[in-house]
Structure 1
Amino acid sequence: MTVQYGPEIHFDAITELFQNAGNEGRNFLYEYEVYNLLADSGAETPPKSILIPRGARPSEDELLALPGEKVVLKIASPTIIHKTEVGGVRIVAKDPNKIRSALRRMLYEVPENYAAWCQANPAAVPDSYRGLSGEALLAAISRDVVGVLMVQFMPPDSAAFGNELIVGLRNTREFGMVISAGLGGTDTELYAERFRKGQAIIAASCELIDGEHFFELFRKTISYKKLAGLTRGQRRIVSDEQLIECFSSFIEMGRRYSPVNPQAEFVIEEMEINPYAFTDFLMVPLDGMCRFSLPKKLGNTRPVVKIDTLLHPGKIGLVGVSATRKNFGRIILDNILAEGYPAENVVIIRDGVDEIEGVKCFPDLKSLPEKLDLFVVAIGADQVPELVDEVIALDAANSVMLIPGGMGENEESQERAAKVIAKIDAVHGTEDGGPVFLGANCMGVVSHPGNYDTWFIPEEKLPVSRNQPYRRAALVSQSGAFMLHRYSQCPELAPAYMVSMGNQTDLTLGDMLKYFKDSDEVDVIAVYAEGFSDLDGLEFCKAVRGAVLAGKEVLFYKAGRTPEGKTATSGHTASLAGDYMVCESCVRQAGAIVARSFTEFQDLFLLAETLGPKKIMGNRLAAVSGAGFEAVGMADSIQSDDFQMELASFSLQTQARLGALLKENRLDGLVTVKNPMDINPSANDGVHASIVEVLSQDGAVDAIVVGLDPLSPAVHSIMNSDVPAFELGADKGIVQLVAEVVKKSEVPIIGVVDGGRLYDPMRDALLERGVPVFPVCDRAVASVSLYIESRLYAERIRNGAGL
């Protein structure tokens, strides 16, 4: 029987709390109101409390109204968040005189302490106190003190480290409502910074997770292990059902009071309980805060269906093409034609010239005989606003590619960009929706299915193999340079589409992923992001989930993980970089493979392109090499903070087959059948291939990483060698034999060619035959481990597990 833990939430009562506060001119709830909210949330009942307003003279009966032998007194002020640091929390005996004494002392001492704190921490001072000092600052702080909240004292079961919980909701700019939970108390920030990733604090999108699945994430944290009594000397102090109920309540409130809920009366900007303590299997909130706002109108919906005309245009127009020199526009024209796009389907907006490179010119947009599918704009940024107005007014194109920068990357160009964005948003509100715009600050698009290339890089700088086979993949990059460098370094990736997003003036990363998740041309979508537009991170994650459910793979890299990185990315793309932990958590939970470095991005992209058809049954690895260090290095690389692989245990049948193979090749006296398997430098091409084939047929092996030992004298590994025994192109050489095994195998097989540039032809030959190959073994194992873990997670999503 399945038990449902979803709480009954009294939304009308919670909405009334927000309404009453709003009527008083507040966008926040006082602590006692937060406790009322929790009482209406259907989760744990908070402690009883009484607000004693500033200036009130409570009676003895009122002071003794709470149960227990002690009471907790808390200063009530919207500006004093960290109360403990300034003496704003005190536990006193439940004696009327002692309570009155503490009340009077707090009303004077806390403002004085907080004024001193503000002077010592000027960067953290609330906006309303900035510029104030001395008596003026003290008066302002005192004025904001509403009173003192008297709260029922509920002693925790344990005051030991890790026995407090923080749970919160936050409205993020990119991902909307996010729930977080983890180690609570005054050192929450320190825990999050010092513990391994995912051990102290976890976060997830409220739209993409429920309470039970969020609890499964929470089970992996040190916080859960402490609360559940799974560490030495601990005992369980809360039930799993209570935690699930709490998380479910927060997630449902996050969905209701969300910026993307059109029925939301209010939006929760931030709500936090820090900490929950635990008394006799009760979750007791010891402090709470909540800020809210009125919902804002969302922008008009972009007609993303027109992305198809952008990627597969029947008619292309260009503006900014020089008739006499190789400017950006002229290079783009050259590349379009070099890719094989018909010249008769291209037009140029250029007054006073009849044709350029056999392409007909027209003096202006009004002169065009028909509507364009794609209009490529390569003119100065100062001319863009007027041109955008004209394109929209004439309905001249279905899609527009804005190449120029100077459209929001810095303060000087933000006003120009804002005007363009407002104009585009307005036309999206019309029945047809107007054109879609890619860029600005866009390096262009390579669309092999669309038969065109609008990159402004000349072929002398980037040699291109035109009309070559391409893979069923798309590379979408916010940075054109990142995409360019990956392609230059790894031409073997060869995706069908390479799209430079630029500033996301109109089309966003989320829009592009929505398109490609439904594309019949693409199985793998790789994305480099520097920042998301407002709420587009959430749309992106929804599209990731949709792509995964459709059987596709999504690879993701997010730049701007450090304060310095955030500064750099915001200056480049005009998109603010968001909180990396939230971003990584949301995208990973949606089902994407998250890369940790540029190199890893390349490696995972290669694996996604080549291993897509292979079956991923588990995480048991077989490691093989003729170099002893390499075999050991593979074993050393199977675990990290981000993945956990196991060394496979070979079946008795596999052990017997391997033993016979070694004996046949006179290696039985040198090689022991085990995992990892050091097969000795004297193992020839056939031995390598045969061992891999045997291992691929063992049902207990889920993946194989094999060192192909290019420096071994027994291996054919050198192109155009004078020594026949070394010749790479020899019949039945290692490349040919291993490629045949890889082609037949349902198990992923990854090669390692650890050698200098002499062995680049060997790597190229393997890659051409569909064998993913790496230059060092630890890089291969780390990449395949991350890839396998992500594939297994994606399969759980498809099976409805959600995690």
Structure 2
Amino acid sequence: MFIENEISFEAISTLFSNADNEGRDFLYEYEVYNLLANSGAETPPASILLPRGARFSDEELTSLPGDKAVLKIVSPTIIHKTEVGGVRIVKKEPAKIRSAVRAMMYEVPENYAAYIERNPEHGPEEYKGLYGEALVKAISRDLRGVLQVQFMPPDSDSFGNELIVGLRRTREFGTVISAGLGGTDTELYAERFRKGQAIVAASVDMVDGHSFFQLFRNTISYKKLAGLTRGQRRIVTDEQLIECFDSFIEMGKYFSPTNKDSGFVIDELEINPFAFTEYLMVPLDGMCRFSRTGQKPQGRPVNKIHNLLHPKKIGIIGVSSTRRNFGRIILDNVLAAGYAQEDVVIIRDGCEEVDGVRCVPSLDALEEQLDLFVVAIAAQHVPDLVDQIIELDAAKSVMLIPGGMGETEESKERAEQIITRINKKHSEDDGGPVFIGANCMGVISRPGGYDTWFIPEEKLPKDRNSKYQRSALISQSGAFMVFRTSQCPELDPAYMISMGNQTDLTLGDMVHYFKDSPEVDVIAVYAEGFNDLDGLEFCRAVRQAVMNGKEVVFYKAGRTPEGKTATSGHTASLAGDYMVCESCVQQAGAIVARTFQEFQDLFMLAEKLNGKKICGDRLAAVSGAGFEAVGMADSIQSDDYDIELAKFSIDSQEQINEILENNKLKSLVTIQNPLDLTPGSTDRIHSSVAEILVNDPTVDSIVIGLDPLSPSMHTLAEPTIPAFSIEDENAIGNLLIKIVQNSDKPVLAVVDGGRLYDPLRDKLLANGVPVFPVCDRAVAAIALYSKARMKAEVIQLTRGCD
């Protein structure tokens, strides 16, 4: 295991300081090798800087080991040296070295100038507007010299034997580490290979060398380096890789935007590639950019989220007394949720009451501080109102409903003014109020007894007396929550929170709150973008929530360039690199959905299966329809998951065989997995098989198709033939509910039929049975869910080791 004190952070800081004193925000390649020499990882090859114009003796030029010398141009502007003739290998003879250096000092500027003129979009900013001889002279002027490096021949030149390892500062997640297939085609590999096959990445705060190595083991790069492909031999040990990863991770943590004591931040550190010779990791090229640490972000009094979600006094501004504007609809919904009229006050001049709720003319007329103040006025009036709220200390939490504050370029200045005022107050006394929004749909808090959504009851009827789930849905998009609520009323979370633009409170703040909430076991999050470094705070909160035994389901919008543009326009937050986001959140322990439908399915599973045990990924697939059995078998693998079909125990096979014989189905059914029971199987046969498999130690989860159209099944709510009724005590719904309630294992039902079978679905869902309309969705959902739950259990086990 890597020992932290082997890294000389002081020596590395000196490298940054010396470069900074010269006005540079980067290290030259020889300085990167010096950094590696102080990193506690593999020692880099020996090298000598040959400064421009300097003279060297024959002894100095031949002082490095080996019979060849590698010569590399040293320039602050030339990143890709090979393409412009900036790398040469010559015999280690003084005359050969001198000749090559002279040639490079003339040819490289000419080659690089020609490249820039062909590709002006790739030219450095300092060369903009220069052409011909002027450009060549500018490039030549910037050449610092040539770096002579010890030649260390790699063990193999075949594909996959070069490794890239790097650190990168990201806006949302702080410093991330990445590793994978190295060389000049790294970007092509990452684009063309399956996800996670070419490059893997993770937040340095979420992994150590060993856990990152476990991610790396899944890459093609590891399989090649470890000699796991045909005709390949191992060229590096696992321990070397772990030591290298540990070193980069510790440097990333220390020189991080979250460590204000380091003095410097590594913006980018990349070794591409590491080659391998005689079990040594040899860096063949390296670059590093850095910056000085910035100001510490202003903290928020997040304890006041409790006032936001469980207010004793609510105020609303923007309520019309004559029409159903947004403010009036919000008032209607607050009262319809059962919130007491006497605990609500409306800020409205010239009116004594609206719908029995008392009005006061202004904020300074309030008799006491509000727990929650809902702002539903026009956006142009919000900045002045925020000033007044802060000055009067009128509320502990504020909900900003209006948009027009940061969603567009034109409104960003207004949003920045508001944020500045809020942050200034956060730095004083008790921190002032917390703000949710702007561009916020509102909040439904069943434990808090209120609903501030501005959707009329006629458009979105709610069963306000239903038993809500122990879950919270946190979404940047209010519309996303409205659509999910309309389509899937069975989800029915305890809290539904629209975050809007995250002017103040962030996604990370909300998960931090719910990680300790006694009301919530499941946290579901729809994210479009994170504020600066809030992606990292979000991941930390997810990790703590998982350690506390909670489940977090996550969907991130903005995975394509077009999606990033759309989310940026909607939320006023930049959508970050999706691969980095997905990896960081998964490493934190969240269940990551790839589609809206999958998010919905996984959220439902988390609610229904939170109390069930996940012992493995061995699936039993059962159906009375042949296509469904085949469909389940075809759905056990994808790029993102795999689940195996269980091999039933001998005891289970014998019991199933007896049932088939007793029902004269033996000749029609082969006992295998998936198990096709044929349409002739009754409710009792389906449930008996399910019960056998629930007790089978070789089975971890069950997906069972209920074959609702079969004449042998009781699957209709109001049938003309009583034999089809779901109310029969032997109907599959009643039988399966008992099995699920008595089982620790996940049992998922598939009801593949039209609207006639909605009552059966509703009955099963209401009694804790997860139901899917098609079998492949059920298999994908339980596979992803099982994988995430097992990872969460590993994270929880580390709690005692911290």
Same fold (TM over 0.5): yes
Give SS of 1:406's match: coil
Residue 136 in structure 1 maps to residue 130 in structure 2 = no
SS in 2 for 1:277: strand
Structure 2 partner of 1:471: 469
Counterpart for residue 254 of structure 1:
252
Q: Which residue of 1 aligns with 2:286?
A: 288
How many angstroms apart in 2 are the aligned matches of 1:460 and 1:4?
A: 62
Q: Does 1:594 align with 2:592?
A: yes
- Partner of residue 437, structure 2: 439
2:145 match: 147
Equivalent-residue separation in structure 1 for 2:250 and 2:322 (angstroms): 63
Structure 2 counterpart of 1:787, which letter? Y
Taking the aligned partners of 1:583 and 1:132, their CA distance within structure 2 comes to 39
CA apart distance, 1:236: 0.8
**Deviation for aligned residue 1:4:** 5.3
The alpha-carbon distance between structure 1 residues 121 and 7, as it changes in their structure 2 partners (threshold 3 A), is farther
Counterparts in 2 of 1:283-432, with a 5 A limit? 283-432=281-430
- In 1: Cα distance, 2:633 partner to 2:584 partner: 31
CA shift for structure 1 position 132: 2.9
Cα distance between partner residues in 2 of 1:182 and 1:194: 13
Q: Is the 8 A contact 2:77 2:124 kept in 1?
A: yes
Partner of 1:649, secondary structure, is: coil
C-alpha contact 2:2 2:246 (8 A) present in aligned 1: no
> Is residue 278 from structure 1 mapped to residue 270 from structure 2 by the alignment?
no
2:738 to 721, 740, 747: 740
Bigger shift: residues 587-596 or 67-76: 67-76
Q: Secondary structure at the match of 2:288?
A: strand
CA contact (8 A) 1:7 1:43 kept: no
Choose which of 781, 784, 788 in structure 1 pairs with 2:782.
Answer: 784
Amino acid in the other structure paired with 1:224: Y
1:7-37: per-residue Cα shift (whole Å, max 9, x none)?
Answer: 7111111111111111111111100000001
How many Å apart are 1:113 and its aligned residue? 1.4
2:176 maps to 178
CA contact (8 A) 2:260 2:296 kept: no
Aligned to 2:405, what secondary structure does the other structure show?
coil
Q: 2:546 aligns with which of 536, 540, 548?
A: 548
Give distance in 1, aligned partners of 2:337 and 2:231. Answer: 69
Deviations along 1:439-476, one digit per CA (max 9) or x if unpaired, are: 00111001000111111111111111112110000000
Does the 8 Å contact 1:7/1:249 carry over to 2?
no
Is the partner of 2:539 in helix, strand or coil? helix
- In the alignment, the residues of structure 1 paired with residue 772 and residue 130 of structure 2 have an alpha-carbon distance, to the nearest angstrom, of 61
- Alignment of 1:656 with 2:651, yes or no, is no
Identity of aligned residues (%): 69
Counterpart for residue 770 of structure 1:
768
2-structure distance, mates of 1:772, 1:651:
25
Q: Where do 1:95-134 residues align within 5 Å?
A: 95-134=93-132
**Letter of the structure 2 residue corresponding to residue 774 of structure 1:** F
Deviation at 1:532, TM superposition (A): 0.5
Q: Per-residue deviation at 1:270?
A: 0.5
| 1:342 Cα deviation from its structure 2 partner | 0.6
Residues 505-654 of structure 1: pairs in structure 2 closer than 5 A: 505-654=503-652
Contact 1:171-1:269 within 8 A present in 2 as well? yes
Distance 1:799 1:247 in 2: 22
Distance 1:248 1:10 in 2: 14
RMSD of aligned alpha carbons: 1.3
Q: Choose the corresponding residue for 1:504, options 502, 505, 513.
A: 502
> In structure 1, what is the Cα distance between the partners aligned to 2:4 and 2:216?
17
- Whether contact under 8 Å (1:299, 1:425) holds in the other structure is no
Per-residue CA deviation, residues 464-514 of structure 1 (Å, 9 max, x unaligned), is 111211000000001111111111111110000000000000000000000
CA distance in 1 between counterparts of 2:193 and 2:480 reads 31
Distance 1:7 1:564 in 2: 45
Q: What does residue 685 of structure 1 align with?
A: 683
SS at match of 1:321: coil
Give the secondary-structure state (helix, strand or coil) at the position aligned to 1:207. Answer: coil
Query: 1:60-79 CA distances to partner (integer Å, 9 max, x unpaired)?
Result: 22222222111111111111
Aligned with 2:704: secondary structure? Answer: strand
Equivalent residues of 1:626, 1:708 under 8 A apart: yes
The offset of 1:730, in angstroms, is 2.5
Q: 1:130: Cα distance to partner?
A: 2.6
Shift of 1:5: 5.8
> Residues 7, 83 of structure 1: CA spacing in aligned structure 2 closer, same or farther, 3 A cutoff?
farther
Q: Deviations over 1:225-244 (max 9, x none)?
A: 11111111111111111111
- Selected match of 1:666 from 664, 677, 682: 664
Question: How much has 1:257 moved relative to structure 2?
Answer: 0.6
Which of the numbers 181, 197, 200 marks the counterpart of 2:198?
200
Whichever residue aligns with residue 281 of structure 1, its letter is: Y
Q: Distance in 2 between matches of 1:196 and 1:627?
A: 33
Supply the distance in 2 between the matched residues of 1:215 and 1:93 (Cα, whole angstroms).
38
The aligned amino acid for 1:790 is: A
Letter in 1 for 2:786: I
Partner Cα separation in structure 1 for residue 5 and residue 363 of structure 2: 60
* Stretch moving more, 701-710 or 60-69: 60-69
* Alignment check: 8 A CA contact 2:474 2:497 kept: yes
Tell me the CA shift for residue 134 of structure 1.
2.7
Inter-partner Cα distance in structure 1 for 2:4 and 2:217:
18
Match of 1:266 among 261, 264, 267: 264
Structure 2 residue aligned with 1:494, among 475, 485, 492? 492
How many residue pairs match? The answer is: 801
2:2/2:243 contact within 8 Å kept: no
SS of 1:799 mapped into structure 2: helix
Q: Distance between the aligned counterparts of 2:205 and 2:460, measured in 1?
A: 43
**Normalised by the size of structure 2, how large is the TM-score?**
0.98
SS in 1 for 2:6: coil
Q: Deviations over 1:240-280 (max 9, x none)?
A: 11111111111111111111113112111100000000111
Distance (Å, rounded) in 2 between the aligned partners of 1:544 and 1:668: 50
1:721 CA drift (Å):
1.3
Alignment-derived partner of residue 65 in structure 1: 63
Match of 2:706 in 1: 708
Point out the more displaced range, 462-471 or 113-122: 113-122
SS of 2:205's partner is helix
TM (normalized to structure 1)? 0.98
Amino acid at match of 2:458: E
Deviation at 1:704, TM superposition (A): 0.3
- Name the structure 2 match of 1:235: 233
**1:724 & 1:665 partners in 2: Cα distance?**
22
Residues 307 and 396 in structure 2, CA contact (< 8 A), matched pair in contact too: yes
**Aligned-pair CA distance for 1:549:** 0.3
Task: Give the Cα–Cα distance (whole angstroms) in 2 for the partners of residues 343 and 136 of structure 1.
Answer: 78
2:656 counterpart letter in structure 1: L
Give how far 1:584 is off.
Answer: 0.4
**1:105 shift after superposition:** 1.4
Distance in 2 between residues matched to 1:664 and 1:7, nearest whole Å: 71
When residues 410 and 136 of structure 1 are mapped into structure 2, their CA distance, relative to the original with a 3 A threshold, is farther
Q: Deviation digits for residues 268-314 of structure 1, max 9, x if unmatched?
A: 11000000001111111000011111100022111111000000000
Is the 2:526–2:556 contact (alpha carbons within 8 Å) kept by the matching residues of 1? yes
Gaps of 5+ in 2: none
Q: Which position in structure 1 is the counterpart of 2:18?
A: 20
TM-aligned CA deviation for residue 120 of structure 1: 2.4
